[in-house]
Each structure stands twice: as structure tokens, then as C-alpha cells.
Amino acid sequence: MPTPIIAVVIPAGGGGTRLWPRSRQATPKQFLDIVSERTMLQETTDRVEGLVPPDRLYVITNGRHADAVRQQLSDVPPLNIVGEPVGRDSAPAIGLMAAILEKTLGPEAVMATLPADHVILRPEQFRAILRAAAEVAAEGYLVTLGIPPTGPDVGFGYIQSGETVREHTEAGVPVFAVRQFREKPTREVAEGYLRDGGYFWNAGMFIASVRTLRELYKTHLPQMEAGFAQIVAAYGTDNFESVLGEVFPILEKISVDYGIAEKADKVAVIPADIGWNDVGSWQRLAEVLAEAGHEGENIVIGHHVGVDTHGALIYSPDRLIATIGLDDIIVIDTPDAILICPRSRSEDVKQVVDELKARKRHDLL
């Protein structure tokens, strides 16, 4: 079988509220240089360099961020960057991009959907697994990458694997059929998954041929087809933005997991031990930086003097933060807001954001 043409679609519409106060509505985490000197969006494209040329990179993002994407990804054709007028969850976004790729690249192309806000510390292995996934996808499978769990995390959905589809691929990993997708579990249930084995974290990365995706949408979300047809007919014309603004907001709001993946008959999962992290909180960022070899007892980005301070994450590029007698603390200093919390409570930053919304402090959101 000839190597399929691969295109990468990058959904870049998330809000990143748990990385407040650095991540804001105007500049969510995927547009920030949180992990390195490159933004998370730029790192997403960097890690597929050599696998996919810039003209086969596509991004779908919030409409108000489309110009920022074009600035950060200057090598990507502007037409490949689509700005949603409103967020309608992942199924309309991915379905629309599949319909656009059907027009631009044809139904035999393989579409890899790779979120813009993930960290992957082993990009070479990641590319090898993507090549393997593309070969499996060309056989009609909807393929997802399963992250081997390192603990009973309750913040992720899980994928239960079934029988073996392939013993191994050139990437050195097997391919399994997906038995079922599981929702975010309780800790007790997650611990059971780890004991039983055969479960993976669902990182939201899907690979399938354009033909397979289009057939799945026609079967399981047929009500979207008329909308896709209208938008795609205007793609590349001066009317595209107006048609998109008129049609996209009336598409059903539903995730691709619920609308497509959980209903598909031919789904495969490839274990992907690639140093993955969704950087969904400040604590997870600390884990990434530690795994990447950040030196020192405390993780410091900026300026910090610590006396009897251990296990701290400090972000303060503009002024000195001094701490005394603190363990496992997070301090994030920005020009208009400072976050201070225990590392164990970093998931609760979203509650601060909710409170700011309730107080109508939109200047801080």
C-alpha cells in the first residue's frame, strides 16, 4: 500500500482557564510560550516538521484568534486557518475541516487531528507513531493515540483496548481495537483500570482518512452535512467568512467523542509513550518541566530567592519573588494579577476564574 498523504488539523480554540493568570481569553495557553521559547501552537507544528509540509497544516480556532495564528504560523497558507465565529465543541470543527480537506486534498488523504495545547517530549517517536497510525487509518480505521497511564488520574477520559489488530508496527508498538471509551472516572474506578490493564488515557488525538471521517459524519451526524456543504462551497472565495458566520453557529454543539468516536464500528488505539502532557494546570506544567530536566529543587521561571523553600513553582519574569519556609507552593506573577496556591490545589484555579466572571471582572479574564 502506498504511503498516504497526511494532513494535520490543529484545533486551537481552548480557553486554558486553569493556567490563569497567564492564560487569558485574549491569549489562551496555546498562544503562550509556557514550556519553551516557542508557543505551544508553534511547538505543535514543529513536532510534525518533516512529516507534513506547511501547506498541509490546517488550524481551526476561535475567530478572534485567527490573525494571531497567522502571525505565529507565517509559513502556513492563510486560507488553511479557519476562524470559528462561535465555539460549537469539537465535532462541528473537525467535521468541517474534513469536508474542506475532501475538497482540497481528496478523500484518500489521512487527516491527523492534533490539539494545539499539548506537550510531547519525544517528538521522533511521536512522528513514527503518526506514520503507523496513517497506515492503519488508510485501511478504514478511526485511530486514536492512547497514552499509557502513569497513575489513576481522574482528569482524563480512558480508552479500553480489545483484541490486537497488528502485533507491531515500524514504530515498535502494537495496534489494538478499541473496546470502549470511558468517561472521566472516580479515583476508585481509575485505580481499577490500572489494576486490570489495557486502559489508556484519551488525549483527543484522532487519525482517519478523509473518506472514513466523511462517511462517519454522514452516518452519525447527518444534520451537519447541509451546513458543511454551504461552507465548503464558499471556501476560497470572498464570501467564505460571511457564509461561515451564518451557518456555523447553527450546527449542533457536540464533541467528536460523543458524536463520532463512541459510535464508530472500526476504531483502533495505538499506545503512545511519547512524553505527553496536556499542561492542564500549573501542577502539570511543573511535572513537564521536571521531566524535561529543569534543574534545581524549585522550578523557577524568572526571579526568585527562597529560604527554606522546597518544591515550588515560581513564575515571575519582571520582579523578584522571595519566599521563606514554604513547601510545594505555586506563585504566578503577572502585571495585573498574582496567583498563590499549594501545588495540590492547582486544579482549583478554574474556581477563581468562575468567581471573576461572577464579579464581572472581565478586565482580568
pLDDT of residue 149: 96
CATH code of 135's domain: 3.90.550.10
Map residue 315 onto helix, strand or coil: strand
Q: How far apart are CA 99 and CA 236, in angstroms?
A: 13
Averages of pLDDT over each 10 residues, the chain, 365 residues: 88 88 94 92 97 98 96 97 96 98 98 96 96 96 97 94 90 94 95 97 97 98 98 98 98 96 97 94 91 82 96 96 97 97 94 96 95
pLDDT of residue 168: 78
pLDDT of residue 179: 97
pLDDT of residue 171: 81
302 within some domain: yes
Task: Tell which residue, 304, 343, 342, has the closest CA to residue 320.
Answer: 304
pLDDT of residue 65: 96
Evaluate the omega torsion of the peptide bond into residue 342 and state whether it is cis, within 30 degrees of 0.
Answer: no
Same domain, 313 and 265: no
300 within some domain: yes
Same domain, 185 and 302: no
Same domain, 259 and 355: no
- Residue 365 has a CB neighbour count (10 Å cut-off) of 15
Amino acid at 70: R
Can you give the pTM of this predicted structure? 0.94
Q: Which three cell numbers stand for residue 337?
A: 494579577
Give me the DSSP letters along 338-363. Answer: EEEEEGGGGGGHHHHHHHHHHTT-GG
Same domain, 168 and 229: yes
pLDDT of residue 14: 81
Q: Which three cell numbers stand for residue 39?
A: 508557543
Same domain, 66 and 179: yes
Same domain, 192 and 302: no
Report CA 261 to chain centroid distance, whole Å.
16
pLDDT of residue 5: 96
Are 282 and 346 spatial neighbours (Cβ–Cβ below 8 Å)? yes
80 within some domain: yes
Q: Which three cell numbers stand for residue 283?
A: 501542577
Q: Which three cell numbers stand for residue 251?
A: 450546527
Same domain, 198 and 305: no
pLDDT of residue 1: 61
- Residue 8 backbone dihedrals phi, psi, to 5 degrees: -110, 130
Same domain, 64 and 145: yes
Same domain, 38 and 130: yes
**Where in the sequence is the domain holding 304, given as residue range(s)?**
296-364
284 within some domain: no
59 within some domain: yes
Same domain, 214 and 344: no
Q: What is the dihedral of CA 346, 189, 151, 343, to 10 degrees?
A: 10
